[in-house]
Chain A
Amino acid sequence: MARARVEQQPAAGTTLIVGVGLSIAFLLFMAFLNVVKSGNLLNESNLLFAALIFYSGAGALYLGFGVTGTESYVRFASLATWAGLLANTGAVAHRWYAAGHPPFASIYEMLLSFVWTLAVLTLIAEKRFGVKVIGTVTMPVAIVGVVLMQLLPSEVRPLVPALQSTWLHVHVTLAMLAYAACALSFALAMMFLIQDQVKTETFLAATSFTSVAIYTAIVLTRFEKWGALNVIAWDPQRKSELFLAKGMRLFVSIPDLGWLMLMVFAAVAAPFAIYAYARARKDETLFATANRAVFISILLQVVALAVFFVRVRDGMYPSLDADGLFATNLATSPFILSGLVGSIFVSLMYLLLLWRREDLQELLPDAASLDRITYKTIAIAFPLLTLMIAAGAYWANRTWGSYWSWDPKETWAAITWLVYAGYLHMRITRGWRGRRAAYFAILGFAVVMFTFFGVTYLLPGLHAYA
């Protein structure tokens, strides 16, 4: 079997490159037609779109390399990453020029900078440390980032008085660098786990648990009576969320979407339940059933995403709190959207692992060096996190009159810091290496993601800008 694959390799190798190359060319051509029609070539959204196309191509090639191990894929993948980075740099520069300040002032601008940093770090990790498959993890994150950017309100807003400070730039630059380093350490820890031959079932448990957690959160917070799903209403004229009163958003209920979410919740819970049952009964044969359940859950998740997309974009819906019909918009539900996309992404990652070649190990650096590089990236991220919090505190002291106000964002930044401090203590004094350290690094990144997105959309506070 393995032999047959090796023989097929050259043909298969060219197919993917040609396929990806053609689709990139096709998408660029279509985009070009659009550009010709609008007569505006180098604006930000075109550049971002180009970046998205190139990053997607790079992601596909990296994934192809992860699955087949064809060396030539990586060369083209890094070429595509370079091209994407170029377009991304153009978008950053354009934004900077148009806004007159570095792109750090809203969650859209932060994502723009974050994706840029992530692409740079991916190339550094690949060229400098020889971690070739890192793109399989970082590129999809970059793609999700760019897709989210398309949905978030992106108009250049002037800086509110509190943001007019050099400390903003210091604070946010440090945050972006630290968070991108954390993302890299997460990707490296994942590579380590693959290299360390963690059982596929363990990944199954982790990935399906993530999906279950996401859908639990959606269903618990947004499920409305009679199977509707609550989303925030949108005012198309003013291009903003609708408010009932100050600080109280108006929710509309999309009928039947709640049932769909509940069904998908059951579908993603099934593999997890089967896994738990198999573990309890020590019945290895059931894992195959669990894998099949993952397939089904991915299909249903894609359906849920598509239906969510369509129903949110078009249509007017009633509200329980006000009379009349209201529109809604994807921009009002970035959290649900990133949850849905993230869950699909996680499940696909599991499929990738399931289909991995037996000799994937040879393509990665050995486990010991992955472990070491993970530690090194955290050793870079931790001082950056410290300085980021310090710069934020100093800025807050000049703006809000207090260096620490226990604002949720502040608190969660401190929690992130504590988690990584815990990692460093366990590693240095207790000699934690390998798997436990890798799990810790993954936990750290989960907390970072919550601080970055979760706090902004779930918890109220002073950090209203981003």
Chain B
Amino acid sequence: MAGTNHLGRKLWQTLSSIRTGVILLIVVVIVAAAGTMILQRPITDTDEMQRTYSPQVLRALDALQLTDVYHAWWFILLMVLVSCSIVAASIQRFPNSWRYFSRPYKSPNDSFRHSLATQATISIEDEEAGVLAAASALRKLGYKPDLVTTEKHVSLFAERHRVSELAVYVVHASLLLIFMGGIIDGLFGWSGFVALTPGQQSSKIEMRNGTVRTLPFAVRCDSAGQENYADGSPKRWWSKLAIVQDGQDVRNKEIVVNDPLVYRAVRFYQASYGPTGKVEKITFSVRQANGEGTPRDIALAPEQQVQLDADTSVVLAEFIPDYVVRDNQVYTRSQSVDNPAVHLVVESKRSARPVNIWLPPIEGFAENALSTYVFEPQDLQMGHYTGLQVSHEPGQWGVWSGVVLMGIGLAFVFYLVHTRYWVVPVRDAHGHPGLWVGGTANRNREAFEENFKQLVEEIEAKLKAESAALARLHTMSMAGN
């Protein structure tokens, strides 16, 4: 029993020591730095991983979870250890600080007075007058001195910014709050992606790991777009979104890159915007091949059939954004609209079979001459999708409150100094009365030493003025006699 107790104490001491804290910090620094040097799986393509590392190295890195350092179990363990160390160190030191804070040391004993670094003794005539002079000097410096009455004498105690003793615990607590928020997000938070074309609605979010999460509501994109600068670089992406719950729109918002939509702690961010590679609408100018009638414009969506006259109709059969002809076949080379081809099919009751029209007329495929109508493409509208990043971070409020708390704590730590002054009437070896003045500051000792000197000078000046007045009074009364 004593053995385990001993071991426990040992463990506690190790955990709460500054040395352990600093060693843990160094380990965190090394591991975090390693994570920026080694390619990380969550943000790198699998191809690139394989290009960069040989299979053996990659296997080893994966086994050690070095390809996803920040989510590895041992990294989380390390963070937990750091948290424990902060908690233990704070608990170890807190009682002492709390004593300072809750029970100010008001009447110093002889040994304390002896060992204090900053002190001075001023010779005085009268105890009471001396203490009063010191009290008024302290007040002049902006302190509110306490009169401390003991059986032997009346002394003074004054202090400022006592709260500074506790500020470091505020900083440590704020750090724990931030960690806690991070851990909650790590456990219960998620983040995914959904791509919507205008008019589309979805409640299925694709997670980073490939699984799909279904939300209890759906998001619909009403419209989306991109605005460019004069030089063609993107200026703004926007999407008009609606949240649909039980068939009703419950929230509408136009989101842009820096301004997400939040609904029930799920946030939708504008992440990307781009062409789907599919056509939305093509406008053609149509006229009869024999030159009769006036030309007119028709708009065709894919697979859409439009009547040209009572007998004839046309359908947009295919749109190829970037076509190439090889081995007597028309292929799609890429999704960028560099070299488009349109395939229309004209059906007419007057002709035996449908006529294939290709724009441009691809040799071997196009039967444009057989058609009774001539088509000229006027305008092409490509479909666009808007990419939304969707995330849920229930722990972020812990993080933000931690950040605010840390700001306050750091301001207190660095810019508030706990200063204390004591004034005690004493008698020297010959029985002559003196005023012992002592003080401490927990930070910025140099400025404090200056202030202390100022205080002593102030007291001396007050005493001198008083004794001069006294002497004048004395001579006056003498003269009166």
Contacts and interface: CB of A to CB of B under 8 A. Distances in A.
Nearest to A368: B446
B37 A459 contact: yes
The size class of the interface chain A forms with chain B is 35 or more
A226 B40 CA distance: 33
Interface in A368-424: 369, 372, 379-380, 382-383, 386-387, 390, 393-395, 397-406, 408, 411-412, 414-415, 418-419, 421-422
Contacts of A369: 446
Interface in A409-466: 411-412, 414-415, 418-419, 421-422, 425-426, 429-430, 455, 459, 461
A23 interface: no
B35 A398 contact: no
Given A403-B396, A418-B29, A161 B403 contact: no
Interface string A294-313: 00000000000000000000
B36 A158 contact: no
Contacts of A395: 258
B25 interface: yes
Given A390-B407, A414-B32, A165 B258 contact: yes
Nearest to B271: A401
B237 A419 contact: no
B407 A400 contact: no
A157 interface: yes
A33 interface: no
B229 interface: yes
B247 interface: no
Contacts of A200: none
B389 interface: yes
Interface of A is mostly: helix
Nearest to A384: B410
A160 interface: yes
B32 A411 contact: yes
Contacts of B411: 383
Give the interface centre of B182, B236, B258 by most chain A CB atoms within 10 Å. B258
A386 B391 contact: no
B321 to A, nearest CB: 19
B281 interface: no
B233 A160 contact: yes
B403 A390 contact: yes
Interface in A151-169: 157-162, 164-165, 167
Nearest to A389: B403
B107 interface: no
A421 B409 CA distance: 14
A372 B447 CA distance: 11
Nearest to A409: B36
Interface residues of B, number: 47
A59 B229 CA distance: 42
Contact of B35 (A379, A394, A406): A406
A431 B314 CA distance: 87
Nearest to B238: A161
B256 interface: yes
A411 B33 contact: yes
A48 B23 CA distance: 45
Contact of A401 (B22, B35, B259, B267): B267
Contacts of A415: 29, 32-33
A401 B258 contact: no
Contacts of A386: 406-407, 410
B117 to A, nearest CB: 14
A459 B36 contact: yes
Interface in B190-210: 191
Contact of A399 (B229, B257, B446): B257
A426 B35 contact: no
Contacts of A414: 32
Contacts of B28: 418
Contacts of A157: 233
Contact of A411 (B36, B182, B270): B36
B269 A399 contact: yes
Interface in B382-417: 389-391, 393, 396, 399-400, 403, 406-407, 410-411, 414
B393 A162 contact: no
B361 interface: no
A348 to B, nearest CB: 30
A246 B262 CA distance: 33
Interface string B13-45: 000001001100110110011011100100100
Interface string B266-302: 0101110000000000000000000000000000000
Contact of A387 (B231, B407, B414): B407
A292 B411 CA distance: 50
B18 A398 contact: no
Contacts of B264: none
B430 interface: no
Contact of A412 (B36, B70, B236, B257): B36
8 closest Cβ pairs, A-B complex: A161-B257, A408-B36, A401-B389, A158-B229, A401-B269, A390-B403, A406-B70, A165-B258
Given A158-B235, A403-B393, A425-B18, 13 more contacts: A159-B235, A161-B234, A161-B235, A165-B258, A167-B258, A372-B446, A393-B399, A400-B269, A402-B391, A403-B399, A408-B36, A412-B33, A429-B18
12 contacts: A157-B233, A158-B235, A161-B237, A380-B414, A386-B406, A386-B407, A393-B399, A398-B258, A401-B271, A415-B29, A419-B29, A425-B22
Interface of B: 18, 21-22, 25-26, 28-29, 32-33, 35-37, 40, 43, 70, 182, 191, 229, 231, 233-237, 256-260, 267, 269-271, 389-391, 393, 396, 399-400, 403, 406-407, 410-411, 414, 446
